């Protein structure tokens, strides 16, 4: 990872520190274990500063859930890592004023750094499991949602839902920090690496499924038009970073398929070249396949019967498993979904 911003921010702050002030400096950026000390200590030494006399360095990872007001920066638990328990206790008191949830001193920097990374690694692995199952079970003529719902009747089963891919600036990125750190110390990270490969491949897998569905409906790739409903990586968030919509669109376009996209949370500059940007869903005409990519409320509450009439071929693919497929079929669609047998 590029740590130049962490180093640059640290240098700017350290240069302004008055000697003897014992200023507390806290890093909140997501980093792998060891980054805070390894990146900042050489700068601190270069500037002639001393830990314990001039400053203290600490780590408290940022935690919040974009688009989720119940888990903003003031509603989430925090963990604090630093080598000095006295400073750790002082920071606990400070952060307790910033959040209504638990604030905990966890010991050395590396513990807090690692905690942040594995929070997202765990989610990536869990999502990868259901995404892989969503590819296996349809081949067995079994709907993955039926399986997951049945398994969820057991008290300790953790329910995740498959989708077209994983996006955002955390889950698709942070596992690579852990993979790299493990490689640095000569330890394999096979499970983390495999999970990333599964989730990274989902847009390509879905593109192949869409191509087959359209071919079966008599629509050749060179003539096909696909409408993506939603582009942001997450519902109710206007953020296209690492969105699975982009590799999905790129794979479809590489097959000669025309791709349009509608997302009421994004402006026209958010899309890559080659994608037809739809500003008015009522003007989206002549498409062969609609794909729910992002479960925005605006997408879920569309007038499905009207949209079906605008389609050249009324095929729809639920890439988030949140739509009522029977209702869609009754509204003039031929409905399909990720993890569902054709």
CA distance 244 to 167: 6
Residues 6+ apart with CB under 8 A from 202: 131, 163, 164, 165, 166, 244
Residue 60 and residue 28 in contact, taking contact as beta carbons nearer than 8 Å: yes
The whole-angstrom separation of Cα 195 and Cα 193 is 5
Structure tokens at 77: 């638990």
Identify the active-site residue in 60, 82, 170, 299. Answer: 170
318: which residues sit within 8 A by CB, 6+ positions away?
Answer: 292, 325, 335, 336, 337, 338
Record the tokens describing residue 310, joined without a space.
Answer: 């605008």
Q: Is 170 a catalytic residue?
A: yes
> What are the tokens at 36?
């805070």
The span from the CA of 124 to the CA of 12, in Å, is 34
Assess contact for 233 and 295: CB atoms under 8 A.
Answer: no
The Cα-based distances of 73 to 19, 37, 104, 299 in angstroms read 32, 25, 15, 27
d(CA 33, CA 174): 12
- For 94-103, give one letter per residue: b (16+ CB within 10 A) or e: ebeeebeeeb
**What are the C-alpha distances in Å from 75 to residues 69, 87, 104, 341?**
8, 23, 14, 40
The CA distance from 166 to 247, in Å, is 11
Burial 136-164 (b: 16+ CB within 10 A, else e): ebbeeeebbbebbeeeeeeeeeeebbbbb
Catalytic residue ranges: 170
């Amino acid at each position: 990872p590029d740590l130049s911003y962490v180093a640059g921010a640290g240098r700017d702050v350290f240069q302004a520190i008055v000697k003897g002030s014992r200023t507390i400096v806290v890093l909140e950026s997501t980093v792998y274990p060891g980054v805070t000390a390894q990146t900042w200590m050489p700068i601190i030494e270069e500037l002639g500063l001393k830990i314990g006399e001039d400053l203290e360095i600490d780590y408290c990872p940022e935690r919040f859930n974009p688009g989720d007001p119940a888990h903003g920066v003031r509603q989430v638990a925090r963990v604090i890592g630093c080598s000095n328990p006295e400073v750790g206790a002082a920071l606990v008191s400070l952060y307790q004023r910033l959040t209504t949830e638990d604030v905990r001193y966890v010991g050395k920097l590396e513990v807090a750094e690692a905690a942040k990374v594995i929070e997202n690694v765990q989610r990536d692995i869990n999502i990868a499991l259901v995404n892989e199952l969503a590819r296996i079970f349809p081949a067995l003529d079994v709907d993955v949602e039926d399986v997951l719902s049945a398994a969820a009747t057991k008290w300790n089963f953790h329910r995740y839902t498959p989708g077209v891919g994983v996006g955002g600036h955390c889950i698709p990125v942070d596992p690579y920090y852990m993979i790299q750190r493990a490689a640095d110390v000569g330890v394999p990270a096979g499970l983390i690496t495999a999970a990333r490969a599964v989730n990274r491949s989902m847009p390509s897998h879905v593109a192949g499924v869409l191509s087959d569905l359209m071919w079966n409906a008599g629509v050749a790739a060179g003539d096909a038009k696909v409408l993506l409903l939603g582009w942001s990586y997450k519902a109710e968030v206007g953020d296209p970073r690492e969105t699975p919509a982009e590799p999905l669109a790129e794979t479809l376009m590489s097959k000669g398929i025309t791709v349009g996209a509608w997302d009421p949370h994004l402006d026209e500059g958010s899309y890559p070249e080659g994608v037809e940007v739809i500003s008015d869903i009522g003007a989206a005409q002549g498409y062969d396949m609609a794909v729910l990519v992002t479960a925005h409320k605006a997408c879920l509450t569309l007038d499905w019967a009207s949209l079906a009439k605008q389609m050249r071929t009324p095929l729809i693919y639920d890439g988030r498993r949140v739509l009522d497929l029977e209702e869609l079929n009754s509204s003039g669609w031929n409905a399909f979904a990720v993890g569902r047998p054709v």
